[in-house]
Structure 1
Amino acid sequence: MKIKNVITISIGAVLVTACSAPLEKPIQGKIKKEVISFTPKVTGRILEIYVQEGDVVQPGDTLAMLDVPEVDAKLEQASGVVQAASAQSTLANNGATENQRKQLKAKREAVREQYVYAEKSFNRSKAMFDEGLMAPQQFDEVQSKYTAAKAQLDAVNAEWAEVEKGTRFETRNAAYGQQQQALGVLKEVEIAYSEKYIIATNSMQIETISLHEGELATAGYALFNGYIPNSTYFRMTIGEKEIAGYTKGKEITLLIPYINRDVRVKVQNVKQLARYADVTSPYPNLEIDEAFYEVKLVPSDAGEDLTDLLVNASVILKK
């Protein structure tokens, strides 16, 4: 009877001791990949989406096309402005046309004939006026016609000299500046027009497509979200009591439970979590107010294919 009681007490003591001893839970982490998003630069309605979730796209691939009618209208306006400015610049550089030169030459000859006739009339009238054979009123009329003919000839000669000299360089520079300004506006509109197409700028495995065809995509809204291929890494949180054992470059082994696979990794970076993370831990082996650090682990073998690993799946640190 006494022996049975002793055995019962001993077993009870062992059970109490076992229950009171803290169970050390293995350090766990998560599988992560670098995230990337593609967004439109202009607002437009989605006409067509060329990819599906799960596809891997490469730089230059067209992901979707938007309908932006405002850009189409501005493109037509800018094209018209460029044509007008180019014509003005060409006109300034070329100067008068051949027909304009012929017309001005004929006008100059006609004005010259009028001037010669007025000059002869003036000389005859002046001689008669000097001899008292012409009234002053008549002489004044002849002199006025002569002066007007001379002024008209001077004006036509000035026009001809301008044509011979060509367009002033100030006019040519002004026309050239207007042409360049119009070309700049056209280029700006063409860039906006090209933004109708959402083009991949990086390699990406598409995880989610936020909108569907027919919906309105606003500028800056992340339309395609996914991961950069071959960017798999691992992240885990370690308390300050153990962080000294995870120096940068140290190699360790992780177990991926859902596929029962070991992966060799090395510590790439260690950073302290924000103060709000220093709270009561759910694990018995972590203490209240203990600081925590985030450890980023990357594969030791850069050539190891980890593309198929599921993001946010759990991993366990093997000691």
Structure 2
Amino acid sequence: MSKSKAFAVIIPAAALVGWLGYTFWQAYQPQPERMQGQIEAQQYNISSKVAGRIEEVMVRKGDQIQRGDLIFTLLSPELDAKLEQAKAGQQAAGAMAEQAEKGARSQEIEAAKDTWRKAKAAAELRGKTYQRVDNLYQEGVVAEQKRDEAYAQWQAARYTERAAYQMYEMAREGARVETKRAAAEKARMAAGAVAEVEAYAADTQIESWHNGEVAEILLHAGELAPQGFPVVSVVDMNDAWAVFHVREDKLKDYRTGAQFEARIPALGDQKYAFAVSHVAVMGDFATWRTTDPAQGFDMRTFEVEARPVKPIDGLRVGMSVLVE
């Protein structure tokens, strides 16, 4: 056999042996691990602190809203009625406080003064009558009983005069300081009740407290909205993060502040930088993983949150995030 024929046999055989060796070597090399997570974002539920019927929803799913934008309005006739009641109570309390402050009217003061004068005149008359009866008693004309009766009537007339005078003085002085203060506090309490109902009434015009995108509309015009029930859900993609479930033995690479690169298949093959912002152990259910008996312990699973280092255009909630 010539040398050329020998080389023609040896070279393919050597190439085959080399390829088989490389294949076996590759097969026993550790394969890169892939960890998959998903994108989540801050979500806000917009609701009302009063119950009512939805009058109108001003937004649609996908709308971009800003803080202060009107989201929906409520119809609540009950609140309107309560507001009228509160305002009427406020006016009544204010009138009572004003009356206490001003005191009695001039006509009431004059009436009390005339009553006192009448009682005074009656007392003077009773006094003179007693003097006449007493003189007759001294002369022996009338019995002692008649004199005693005249004296009692005179004393009663004096007490009536004194009571009438005190009523007149009370009318002149007006209400006591404590009464005025109580009336003023009742007026202030009524004003607080009006302010409370007005605050509830203002909450029938619901505005957004956050910027974001409308993700869900749970109730529509004509439907009843219970107190605190979410009507519109808003998601803020500027406050988004990726969530991964990491085994305990891999956790050393994902400490708070650590950065890594990940790919988002929905956005192409480009890699994006993420920084770990939060690490927390998951619940005990189904998070334990048995290790080799030689290691002597079971590994737990931790939830790792990582936020994009820079804003990512087109990012949506639920997109997969791959880390190798």
TM-score by length of 1: 0.80
Cα contact 1:66–1:197 (8 A) shared by 2 = yes
Report the number of matched residues: 307
The SS at the match of 1:96 is: coil
- Given the alignment of the two structures, is residue 191 of structure 1 paired with residue 196 of structure 2, yes or no? no
Cα contact 1:232–1:306 (8 A) shared by 2 = no
- 1:63 Cα deviation from its structure 2 partner: 1.6
Q: 1:115 to 1:248 in 2, by over 3 A?
A: same
The SS at the match of 1:116 is: helix
Cα contact 1:89–1:176 (8 A) shared by 2 = yes
Partner of 1:315 in structure 2?
A: 321
Distance (Å, rounded) in 2 between the aligned partners of 1:63 and 1:245: 44
Partner of 1:50 in structure 2?
A: 58
Distance (Å, rounded) in 1 between the aligned partners of 2:89 and 2:314: 54
Which AA in structure 2 matches 1:202? Answer: H
- Given the alignment of the two structures, is residue 306 of structure 1 paired with residue 316 of structure 2, yes or no? no
Matches within 5 A, 1:77-226: 77-134=85-142, 139=147, 142-226=150-234
For the aligned residue pairs, the C-alpha RMSD in angstroms reads 3.4
Partner of 2:258 in structure 1?
A: 250
**Aligned partner (choices 269, 272, 292) of residue 263 of structure 1:** 272
Cα contact 1:267–1:298 (8 A) shared by 2 = yes
Using the aligned pairs only, state the percent identity: 27
Cα contact 2:64–2:214 (8 A) shared by 1 = yes
Cα contact 1:230–1:306 (8 A) shared by 2 = no
Q: 1:36 to 1:277 in 2, by over 3 A?
A: farther
The one-character-per-residue Cα deviations of 1:286-313 (angstroms, maximum 9, x if unpaired) are: xxx753332211122xxx4336311111
**Aligned partner (choices 291, 295, 298) of residue 304 of structure 2:** 295
Distance (Å, rounded) in 2 between the aligned partners of 1:168 and 1:66: 47
Partner of 2:5 in structure 1?
A: none
Distance (Å, rounded) in 1 between the aligned partners of 2:106 and 2:69: 54
- 1:315 Cα deviation from its structure 2 partner: 2.1
- 1:34 Cα deviation from its structure 2 partner: 1.2
Distance (Å, rounded) in 2 between the aligned partners of 1:33 and 1:230: 8
- 1:5 Cα deviation from its structure 2 partner: 12
Q: 1:271 to 1:146 in 2, by over 3 A?
A: closer
Cα contact 2:280–2:303 (8 A) shared by 1 = yes
- Segment of structure 1 superposing worse, 208-217 or 142-151: 142-151
- 1:156 Cα deviation from its structure 2 partner: 1.0
TM-score by length of 2: 0.79
The one-character-per-residue Cα deviations of 1:14-70 (angstroms, maximum 9, x if unpaired) are: 989988988645322212211221222222111111222222333333321222232
- 1:183 Cα deviation from its structure 2 partner: 3.3
Q: 1:162 to 1:111 in 2, by over 3 A?
A: same
Distance (Å, rounded) in 2 between the aligned partners of 1:117 and 1:160: 21
**Aligned partner (choices 270, 285, 298) of residue 276 of structure 1:** 285
- 1:116 Cα deviation from its structure 2 partner: 2.6
- Segment of structure 1 superposing worse, 155-164 or 21-30: 21-30
Q: 1:274 to 1:143 in 2, by over 3 A?
A: closer
Distance (Å, rounded) in 2 between the aligned partners of 1:184 and 1:17: 83
- Segment of structure 1 superposing worse, 251-260 or 96-105: 251-260
- 1:107 Cα deviation from its structure 2 partner: 2.3
Which AA in structure 2 matches 1:107? Answer: T
The SS at the match of 1:122 is: helix
- Segment of structure 1 superposing worse, 208-217 or 55-64: 55-64
Which AA in structure 1 matches 2:120? Answer: R
Distance (Å, rounded) in 1 between the aligned partners of 2:130 and 2:233: 94
Which AA in structure 1 matches 2:175? Answer: T
Distance (Å, rounded) in 1 between the aligned partners of 2:59 and 2:104: 58
**Aligned partner (choices 199, 207, 230) of residue 238 of structure 2:** 230
Q: 1:62 to 1:149 in 2, by over 3 A?
A: same
Cα contact 1:58–1:203 (8 A) shared by 2 = yes
The one-character-per-residue Cα deviations of 1:211-237 (angstroms, maximum 9, x if unpaired) are: 111111112222221213410212222
Unaligned 5+ residue runs, structure 1? 282-288
Q: 1:15 to 1:229 in 2, by over 3 A?
A: closer
Which AA in structure 2 matches 1:127? Answer: N
- 1:13 Cα deviation from its structure 2 partner: 9.9
- 1:98 Cα deviation from its structure 2 partner: 1.5
